[in-house]
Amino acid sequence: MKKFKLKPIFITISIISISFVTISWGIVGHEYINKAAVMVLPKPMLTFFYNHIDFITQESTVPDIRKYSLNYKEENPRHFFDMENFGSQDSLPKTLAEANKKYDSKFLLNNGILPWFIDEMMVKLTKAFKEKNRAEILFLAADLGHYIGDAHMPLHTSVNYDGQLTEQKGIHALWESRIPELFVNNYKFTVAPPQYIENISLHTWKIINDSHSLATPLLSADKQLRTTTKENNIFVVDAQGAIVKNKYNAAKFSDDYTSRLNIALNGMVESQMKKAVTETASYWYTAWVNAGKPDLSDLDGPELTKRNSKSLKKDLKLFMKGNLFGFKNQED
């Protein structure tokens, strides 16, 4: 299925993103979220987004490339929000501009700006829709999907982001990368359709609060499981009994422990991933509506849309069954 042709520089970035293991939802999580979000869009948006679904899927990891590989200093705080360090929510600034006035740059760098940055991205995406700027729509939509995904990861809202305060180091990547890697093909992508968001800022804070409410149960489930499991069953060990490290020099969790934690979490990872799919589509949809519902059908040549029409119908049928483009989730 032929889709949007990337310019050489973006081909390079996309290749890097495929081979680079990120720390926020991992490659698998972000790519599945953006891909599934395309499929739940309403018809006036679906055809255009589907024409470029490969691009939107692969570009979903680019914010992490900017953060980890390219070391963009301004990128890091866009991915998280340490809620405990900001005090009462009633006193929180409503915009990023207000936050920059209230807090010094070092504080925001260390504690994050995720909810405010999502609002900023929505302004930019709405503008791109109004101007029918094809490239901007695609890049911004893909990026926004990444940050919406991050907002659904409970530990992205907590100062104890990797269990480092409770002797649970490694829980972050275990929850959002290792579990999806092992079990995403068992997930049924039957998700709620996108909804128009009346108040973007309030809605974003609702997502942050909901995610934050899961941080303690997440950490508690892991803590309890670790205390009842022998260390050589938690981590991969070599023939001498030494804990095996991954390429980032962190202890490598065993598949068995990952599976047991997934069960203990009672579907939390899958649930948050599905919520992220619906919310990503909802933010895209809201930006399009707020831009005046511009006609997107003339942004691509008719031959591209015609070439993809059969694939779209086929993929929609698969998606309606809970399968994401032929990936076998469960027995039909």
d(CA 156, CA 52): 29
Domains along the chain with CATH numbers: 17-85+94-183+199-294 (1.10.575.10)
Calculate the average pLDDT of the chain.
90
CA dist 129 and 141 (Å) reads 10
Predicted pLDDT of residue 159: 98
Percent of the chain at pLDDT > 90 equals 81
Report pLDDT for 231: 86
Q: Is the pLDDT of residue 104 over 50?
A: yes
CB 82 within 8 A of CB 112: yes
Read off the pLDDT of residues 106-116 as tens digits, 9 standing for 90 and up: 999 999 999 99
State the Cα–Cα distance between residues 91 and 24, nearest whole angstrom: 28
Q: 326: pLDDT confidence band, cut at 50, 70 and 90? A: low
Distance CA 322, CA 187 (A): 8
* pLDDT tens digits along 32-50: 999 999 999 999 999 999 9
pLDDT at 154: 98
Angle at 318 between CA 279 and CA 173, to 5 degrees: 50
105-141 confidence digits (pLDDT tens): 999 999 999 999 999 999 999 999 999 999 999 999 9
Q: How far apart are the first and last CA of the chain?
A: 25
**CA dihedral (119, 121, 124, 125) positive or negative:** negative
pLDDT digits (tens, 9 = 90+) for 6-29: 443 343 344 343 333 334 677 899
Confidence (pLDDT) at 241:
86
Residues 6+ away with beta carbon under 8 Å from 275: 152, 207
Cα distance between residue 84 and residue 218, in whole Å: 16
